Chain A
Amino acid sequence: MEELIEKLKVQIIKQLNLEDVEPDEIDPNEMLFDANGELGLDSIDALELIVLLDKEYGIKIKNQDEGKKIFHSLNTMAEYILQHQN
């Protein structure tokens, strides 16, 4: 799980072009989509994360509402990947 989280951090920084963000700065429990939060991701980023899951982990998410729960934090994302990866 921890290994996966570290990998995800790097992938997210690349996918979302988070200039100036270091992997260590992202707290696995932090809300990714909090408008006032450090990252302040939005709905277009959510779509980018859907692409990331498809591309890197072969997981397809069709429903954006479902995406919202999965992308709550790095922890929830990693859990979802572990559950759905074959």
Chain B
Amino acid sequence: MAKRIFITGIGIISAIGKNTSETLSNIKSASSGVGEIQYLQTVHKGKLPLCEVKYDNQQLCALANIDPQTRITRTSLLGIIAAQEAWRSAGSPVLGDGRTGVFSGNTVGGMDKTEHFYADFMEDEQAGDVQTMLTHECAESTERIADSLGATGMVSTISTACSSSANTIMLGARMIKHGLLDRAIVGGVDALTKFTVNGFNVLQILDEAYSQPFDENRRGLNLGEGAGFIVLEAEGIAKEAHILGELVGYANSNDAYHQTASSPDGTGAFLAMKGALDVAQIEPSQIDYVNVHGTGTPNNDLSEGIAMQRLFGKNMPKFSSTKAFTGHTLGASGGVEAVLSVLALQHKIIYPNLRFETPIEALGGTMIPETELLENQELNYILSNSFGFGGNTSSLVFKAYQ
């Protein structure tokens, strides 16, 4: 019989707070992190809203306990802050024994620094601080996180666009299941950059107003930044007092339809959700809440909704998109939403899908997300979806600890 995999720690930083307690209180008071651009230097300031982490890099250095003179990216800082919180909340287990893995999902690495350097480099190929490029790769932030924790087990980075960190959670679980690791710190991080903001903007999938996931009149997504990490520990290793929940299901598939668009029948999303339920050995009717990918783009929400209708039929569980709070944190979103899922299990709450008004007609007008915070919920199983460009689709199933 395979070992059970417990979640013993969580850590998060996003537009709605620098730790789990701030995150929770902002969600409870329905205060979204979306707003006018304050920190990113871009021509879109004042035009496109973003969900920025409300600290500049110097303040983040203070939060991460790092000398502000250090050459470090915003990506690494956000990752270190969330991973450290996750590790502390797991009771600061020993990490230097080579049996702890650190897996992080990330899409643009140190692009926040690279794009500054590159402007000098384009003027003159010998100009600019070339050492900046050493912080460019996605793996760099993962290694900084591992080093900040003193972890010496397997360290790896996954980049499957917006499903990146859901996939690291899956990797950690599989490594533990096969006895290759006892413990893994898994999740992901992404910082806002001109590169991503302009990329999504030119694809015309950004909302110039505040996003409305799963609404008939949705116009697009609001980009966000942040990091979310959870600590997975094997049964027998995890200390009872720290167990927050259990990871019971996970699956990954590919939509194989289009580079950026989701298929009209939601094939990839359906396969991921179905696969995760199969690994968990549960029926769709046992899912109590779905934290949907729900970006707020016309295409994603329709395709995901169709896939959910295929899976759940008439018995649609309660669902909501928390991206109306955090924005779409890209490579971090699977980690951020895993933390939110565990918090939901812990506090028996279901999150509101902010700004929802009208159900999507093409989904029969019956798919209505939760719009108020629900408390005292009997939550046993939560399904969390993360889908990305390149057709990457992943789903995770979290279970309340019993």
Chain A residues near B (Cβ < 8 Å): 42-44, 47, 50-51, 62, 64
Contact = CB atoms under 8 A, between A and B. Distances in A.
Nearest to B261: A43
Interface in B230-266: 258-261
A44 B204 contact: no
B203 interface: yes
Interface of B: 202-204, 258-261
A44 B203 CA distance: 8
A64 B204 contact: yes
13 contacts: A42-B258, A43-B258, A43-B260, A43-B261, A44-B259, A44-B260, A47-B202, A47-B203, A47-B204, A50-B204, A51-B202, A62-B204, A64-B204
Nearest to A63: B204
Contacts of A47: 202-204
B296 to A, nearest CB: 16
Closest CB pairs A-B (n = 3): A64-B204, A47-B203, A43-B261
Nearest to A64: B204
Nearest to B208: A62
Nearest to B204: A64
B254 to A, nearest CB: 18
Given A43-B258, A43-B261, 7 more contacts: A42-B258, A44-B259, A47-B204, A50-B204, A51-B202, A62-B204, A64-B204
A47 B198 CA distance: 13
Contacts of B261: 43
A47 B258 CA distance: 14
Residue among B202, B204, B259, B261 with most chain A CB within 10 A: B204
Contacts of B259: 44
B120 to A, nearest CB: 25
A68 to B, nearest CB: 13
B300 to A, nearest CB: 14
A4 B96 CA distance: 68
A47 B200 CA distance: 12
A64 B260 CA distance: 14
Nearest to A51: B202
A44 to B, nearest CB: 7
A68 B280 CA distance: 44
Nearest to B203: A47
A19 B202 CA distance: 23
Nearest to B260: A44
A49 to B, nearest CB: 12
Contacts of A42: 258
Residue among A44, A50, A62 with most chain B CB within 10 A: A44
Contacts of B204: 47, 50, 62, 64
A51 B259 CA distance: 19
Nearest to A61: B204
